Amino acid sequence: MEPKTVNTLSEVIILPEVTSTNDILWQRFSQGQLGPAACIAETQTAGRGRRGDVWQSPAVGNLYLSLFWPHCAEQARHGLSIAVGISLINTLKQSGINQLALKWPNDVLHKRQKLAGILVESRFNTRQYTVVGIGLNFKLPEATQTLIQQPSTSLEQLCDPVPCRNWLAGKILQNMIETIELFEHRGLTDFLPLWPQYDALHEQAITLIDGAQKSTAIACGINDQGELRYLQNNEIKLLSNSHISIRFT
């Protein structure tokens, strides 16, 4: 079946300060019918990442962007973050930013330093609704860098000239919408063959961190649900998009 093309958003909400751009879209959703919509903010006072992490969101010209999508199916849970990550990397490549990879399931890295993060949230209310949030560092002031737990980078450090934020936001949204439409119809079918070239963990030694417990493994790609395959104790195991975090060993 040909993917249905939705080229327009019902709303693009642009605000100076929000708690979280994801929150704004969930609030708008709870107030009534909402078609595909986006929210972009200059700063977030409670930006969040996966596993309840804080997403530092200073007003320094970074991109904090969310997309509400009213049709996404249950399968979205694991695979969507992968599909959107590939789409985001492709959009950044079109701006001349290379050597990017996706660290399963949601970190866009440049040489193991985090440039962007993706947060997929879903709610069920007779059907599945999804908000996909993207945080992309344009600038990383020292004060912010010290608050972030992992090695990070920004477009300012990677390219000169830095692409125009509004232009890039438009491209990211446009490509993300096309990607979600494709994903809705075909799941990860079209993304799986591409995965090895995007996979930051490709056959790497990794450490799985579950609270105080740590174990090592070898990453072995993903399955068609977007779950991480890893080799541990001579057995291939699967990891869902859960509370477990992954580090390079």
Alpha-carbon distance of 38 to 77, in angstroms, equals: 20
Question: 100-103 and 63-69: which strand pairing?
Answer: unpaired
Site for ligand BTN in 121-150 (CB under 6 A): 133-135
Compute the chain's Rg from CA coordinates: 17
**Look-up of token digits 């291939």:** 236
Residue 152 as a binder of ligand BTN (CB under 6 A): the answer is no
Backbone φ and ψ of 185, nearest 5°: -90, -30
Site for ligand BTN in 58-87 (CB under 6 A): 64-66
CB 3, min distance to ligand BTN, A: 25
**Look-up of token digits 């509004």:** 166
At 94, list the tokens.
Answer: 């079109």
Measured from each CB, the residue nearest to ligand BTN is 117
End-to-end alpha carbon distance in the chain: 43
Residue 20 as a binder of ligand BTN (CB under 6 A): the answer is yes
Burial class (CB in 10 A: 0-12, 13-18, 19+), 205: exposed
Residue 221 as a binder of ligand BTN (CB under 6 A): the answer is no
- The amino acid occupying position 8 is T
CB 24, min distance to ligand BTN, A: 9
CB 168, min distance to ligand BTN, A: 14
**Residue span binding ligand BTN (CB under 6 A) among the ranges 46-54, 78-86, 96-104, 185-193:** 46-54
Binder to ligand BTN among 83, 88, 100, 119 (CB under 6 A)? 119
The answer to whether residues 109 and 199 touch, using CB atoms and an 8 Å cutoff, is no
CB 14, min distance to ligand BTN, A: 13
Q: Which is nearer to ligand BTN, 134 or 188 (CB)?
A: 134
- Residues acting as catalytic residues: 50, 114, 247
Where does this chain bind ligand BTN (CB under 6 A)? Answer: 20-22, 44, 47-50, 53, 55, 64-66, 106-107, 117-119, 133-135
